[in-house]
Amino acid sequence: MKLLPVTASGAQVAYLDVGATDGRARVYLGGLGLASTVSFAPVIGHPVLAGRGRHVLVDLLGSGWSDHDDDFSYTIDEHAAVVATVIEALGLHRTTLVGHSLGGSIAISLAAQRPDLVGELIVAEPNLDPGVGTLSAQIASFDEDDFVASGMHSIIDADDMTTGTRTLRRWSPRGLHRTAVSLLAERPMTFRAQLTAASMPKRYISGELSAENLDALRATGSDVRVVSNAAHLMMDDNLDGFVTLLADPL
């Protein structure tokens, strides 16, 4: 685990950087309430990907093993800017950016802000449209202070002790709330529109059991692939299938 200061107060982002340093690197971003270093660890350790290239797993600020910073805005675009800082600090260019759920939306924002850093874009069921998101809507239904005081505990207590619940506990309550609100918010250009406008090779991966309208997804110009027997948490539901589609060249 490595750390990089990314805010004025010195808050640090935690990331894993493993594998060969030659060739194009893959940068991984996890979902809301999750941690990239946990969600994608089985992915980069899978025989299809293990030992192939460089893998950088970034825990978003406020999540996983990264620091909390209540002065940080936690908007999607600011999360993307922080990830760009990590990529630049590592001297990487034209990365293969892989994002799941929230991480996919951040990846789309990053590709729009800094296309020079993204050679390929792979997103797995990102939030594409304003107001769409089950967990994010549940979180955003609270006032921020109420969520910090009791809302986060109510969400955690309503679940069993899955890996997702454990990583949820590691999130900054304010960071989680602000991120969820930003994920749902109206934007000058939606994530769907940004994905459509992105000029680099791009792939959209969906779970068979949670798939949207595939024709609408193809209309973004993405290579659309479906993981069989999988829902939104496709890395857990069908790891082999997810990794196969992830590793298939664009």
E strand spans, the chain: 2-5, 12-19, 25-29, 54-58, 95-100, 118-124, 202-207, 223-227
Strands (E) in 191-232, as ranges, are 202-207, 223-227
Interatomic CA distance for residues 40 and 93, integer angstroms: 21
Q: Which pair of tokens denotes residue 24?
A: 């194009």
Mean pLDDT by 10 residues, the chain (250 residues): 96 95 87 97 95 94 98 98 98 96 98 97 97 93 97 84 79 98 97 98 97 94 98 96 96
Q: What integer pLDDT is reported at residue 52 of this predicted model?
A: 86
Parallel, antiparallel, or unpaired for β 95-100 and 202-207?
unpaired
| Predicted pLDDT at 153 | 93
pLDDT computed for residue 158 by the predictor = 76
Q: Is 77 left (phi over 0), alpha (psi -120 to 50) or beta?
A: alpha
- The reported pLDDT for the residue numbered 165 is 78
Please name the residue ranges forming H helices in 66-133. Answer: 76-89, 102-113
Are the beta carbons of 128 and 192 closer than 8 angstroms? yes
DSSP helix/strand/coil, 17 = strand
* Strands of 118-124's sheet in order across: 2-5, 12-19, 54-58, 25-29, 95-100, 118-124, 202-207, 223-227
As given in the structure block, the two tokens for residue 23 are 């060739």
Residue at 59: amino acid letter: D
Task: State the pTM of this model.
Answer: 0.96
The angle that helices 76-89 and 102-113 make with each other, rounded to 10 degrees, is 70
pLDDT of residue 20: 79
> Contact, 99 vs 122, CB < 8 A?
yes
Tokens of 110: 């990053």
Whole-number pLDDT of residue 159? 66
Determine contact, residues 155/139, Cβ cutoff 8 Å.
yes
